[in-house]
Amino acid sequence: MSTGAKRILLDSTHFTEIRNAIRSRSVAWDALARASEISEIDAAVAKKLENLIVKSNGTEHDLQTLKINENVVLPLLHLLATSTNTDSIKSVLNLISELLSCDIGNVADDTVTFFKKNPNQLKNLFDISFNESYDQQTILISSFNIVSLLIQFSSKDNEKMVSQLLKNEKFISILQNVDQMDTCYVTIRELQELCTIPEYRRLIWTNEEQILPTIFQIIRRSINNKNNLPYDHNSNHGDNDNVVIVNTNTNNLGIQLQYYSLMLIWLLTFDTQIASEIITKYLNEFLNLLKLIKVTIKEKVTRVSISILLQCCSKPVKGHKTFIKNLILLGNGIPTLDSLTGRKYSDEELREGIVALKAILDEEYQELTSIDEYTAELNSKLICWSPPHIDNGFWSDNIEEFKKDDWKLFKQLITLLIEFKEKNDNKVIIQILLNDITHVIDYLPESIDVLNKMNGKVIIMELLNNSDSRVKYEALKATQALIGYKFK
């Protein structure tokens, strides 16, 4: 058995069914050649390979002695480029996939070697594999062939093809349709395999807006927080998240989809620059990993989640200290990890990972102050009625922080108030921001000049007419602070 070439998607039942359906269709190669729809040479090669591999008419000796060279590959590529017959195109694409996944002799290795030695033919295969008229099955077979070859070796030309694949609308639409888990799984696995090549990770991150929202949606599928929103601004503090388990824990395909989505993220975070950027842009999704490890019953899901968090906490990642603080303050990380240490995991590496991550969080916790928690909330925009907002001691102890660096923290409050008022999508956050501005005005009356310069006073006045009664109440408090009266 040949073992040199990397093989992918051996576990996808649906992908196997697609290929079996194509195998079961008989293509009249001779008739197509007689009708001049394809050339006689192309027909002869396709027919021979079909008999050897698909119909298994050839012996093991025949496959072991099959030479994969231009006499085999070029007729297949020519047929793909010239044929208009749908069945023949699907059959030839499947023949190429058979060559790439054959486990007898050196067929798979020799096929990879041919394309490695003839990169122009790999480019040719790419160009003729994604016709706009191709249906979903054909796109899946095509992407399988291309990815199977791209992961064997990297080059500048290969990187260009990866970029093109990531921009292919049909490929991306299959990925984004998570309700069709069978086909989505194929694309997730292909992306995950591409991520094993360091040069391709940056390309995937460059196209992350088309990819990662779907990946994180899949990861979240076993978490259902109380507002059923991708970003729940009111569930980041405390242990009572109303987290429940849904069907992905009992659906094997759902678990596999979730696991390989996590694997994709894990591989991306090996690039420390990507890790630094991804934990900033998708902070709440990384906090959700702490919820996921509380509810999942699969050790491999917990293991890769912990591994992702550990990598993002490592010193080479820019902003890792802030990320660690966010895991503690916004993700309830320490109690979560405490609860995991009592579980009897069979995986020694997982147990060690949990201990290592908890040690990192414990060390950082010793240096934390209440102002850290407060600024972490503002920076993440995951703002809730946590203790700093309602503790008078916090304001008396930390009020000078709001004046530092030309009122940087106070200006951040005003900017956030303007932003959330314009969005009008989270009344609770608007209430909290008004509350905090009132506290600053009470302790530092000179802050009113800053508020006026940023148009904050006008915003507060407008909020007096808000439909939410608590927003009106907080706006009234702020207004009375502005005019010098203490509201009781």
Distance of CA 245 to the CA centre of its chain: 21
pLDDT tens for the 488 residues of the chain, in order: 444 778 888 778 888 888 888 888 889 999 999 999 999 999 999 999 998 888 765 566 667 778 899 999 999 999 999 999 999 999 999 999 999 988 877 889 999 999 999 999 999 999 999 988 999 999 999 999 999 999 998 999 999 999 999 999 999 999 999 999 999 999 999 999 999 999 999 999 999 999 999 999 999 987 864 333 333 333 333 333 333 333 334 458 899 999 999 999 999 999 999 999 999 999 999 999 999 999 998 999 999 999 999 999 999 999 999 999 999 999 999 999 999 988 889 999 999 999 999 999 999 988 888 898 899 899 999 898 888 898 888 999 999 999 999 999 999 999 999 999 998 878 999 999 999 999 999 999 999 999 999 999 999 999 999 999 999 999 999 999 998 754 44
Which of 382, 346, 364, 368 is CA-nearest to residue 309? 364
Q: Which two tokens stand for residue 390?
A: 């309602």
Q: What is the pLDDT of residue 488?
A: 41
Which of 425, 464, 460, 423 is CA-nearest to residue 440? 460
Centre a 10 Å sphere on the Cβ of residue 136 and count the other Cβ atoms it contains.
16
Q: Is the distance from CB of 46 to CB of 79 less than 8 angstroms?
A: yes
Q: How far apart are alpha carbons 359 and 351 in whole angstroms?
A: 13
What's the start-to-end Cα distance of the chain, in Å? 82
Distance of CA 102 to the CA centre of its chain: 31
Q: How far apart are alpha carbons 238 and 327 in whole angstroms?
A: 12
**Helix, strand, or coil here: 488?**
coil
Centre a 10 Å sphere on the Cβ of residue 26 and count the other Cβ atoms it contains.
11
Q: Which two tokens stand for residue 3?
A: 């073992």
Distances (CA, A) of 417 to 234, 258, 268, 383: 17, 36, 34, 12
Q: What is the pTM of this model?
A: 0.81
Q: What is the pLDDT of residue 338?
A: 93
Q: Is the distance from CB of 294 to CB of 341 less than 8 angstroms?
A: no
Q: Which two tokens stand for residue 444?
A: 């530092």
Which of 269, 285, 311 is CA-nearest to residue 216? 285
Q: What is the pLDDT of residue 59?
A: 60
Q: What is the pLDDT of residue 250?
A: 42
Q: Which domains, and CATH codes, for the chain?
A: 1-179 (1.25.10.10), 207-368 (1.25.10.10), 380-482 (1.25.40.150)
What angle in degrees, to the nearest 10, is found between the helix axes of 86-101 and 136-150? 30
Q: Tens digit of pLDDT for each residue in 20-33?
A: 888 888 899 999 99
Torsion-angle region of 57 (φ positive above 0: left; ψ -120 to 50: alpha; else: beta): alpha
